[in-house]
Amino acid sequence: MSRLNREQMAARVARDIPEGTYVNLGIGLPTQVANYLPADKEIFLQSENGLLGMGPAPAPGEEDPDLINAGKQPVTLLTGGCYFHHADSFSMMRGGHLDICVLGAFQVSQHGDLANWSTGAPGAIPAVGGAMDLAIGAKQVFVLMELQTRKGESKLVAECSYPLTGLRCVSRIYTDVGVFALGPEGARVIELVDGVNLDEVRQLTGLPLEMIE
């Protein structure tokens, strides 16, 4: 079965982000979506630590320790961008002002429950950051992840077994085998990667998936 690599997955999400939208990209692979947003469109990237109009990484030697992203990496500010404090930043999320956020996940349920902050492993130090605010705040929550774990278990599941980040909050997942819509009626297939057939994906997930016509 042919699969997209991580760069192709990030590029695929980028295609579905329209001009003029306010977007938050989560830590990890979602951050890379920024590399594939078309240069001729204006898309507003928000970072939880207080900037809107986030630009790319600075040139070597131009890093500013006071100008970082949510992953604490140095970034730049686009002309027209601005800074604000944490209450404003999280009002942008909770208040429904962000159009799209793209997050990673350990598991997503067919109904859109998200588990991406803890595997519940005993003894692990828990950390949640802004994940729970983003999950329930943005108008659309996209998850970007490989369909399976390294052990081959499906991360799209009937019900999450890991601790939840948010309930019924993910509307779509972008994976290495295809794009899926989630909702009250369960998961449905928006598109499959060339060379992937529906029966294979049904088998991988154990879910009664149907194509959206």
Where does this chain bind another protein (CB under 8 A)?
Answer: 47-51, 64-68, 72, 77, 83-87, 89-90, 93-94, 118, 123-133, 136-137, 163-167
Nearer to another protein, 48 or 99 (CB): 48
Q: Are 211 and 17 in contact (CB under 8 A)?
A: no
* In the complex, least distance from residue 21 CB atom to another protein, rounded to whole angstroms: 20
Q: Among this protein's residues, is 185 annotated catalytic?
A: no
**What are the residue ranges of helices labelled H in 53-211?**
86-94, 131-137, 198-205
Catalytic residue among 7, 19, 42, 48: 48
* In the complex, least distance from residue 131 CB atom to another protein, rounded to whole angstroms: 7
Q: Are 1 and 203 in contact (CB under 8 A)?
A: no
Residue with tokens 């970034």: 75
**What are the residue ranges of helices labelled H in the chain?**
6-15, 86-94, 131-137, 198-205
Nearer to another protein, 9 or 114 (CB): 114
* In the complex, least distance from residue 123 CB atom to another protein, rounded to whole angstroms: 8
Nearer to another protein, 76 or 175 (CB): 76
Backbone angles phi, psi at 34, to 5 degrees: -55, -30
- Residues with catalytic function: 48
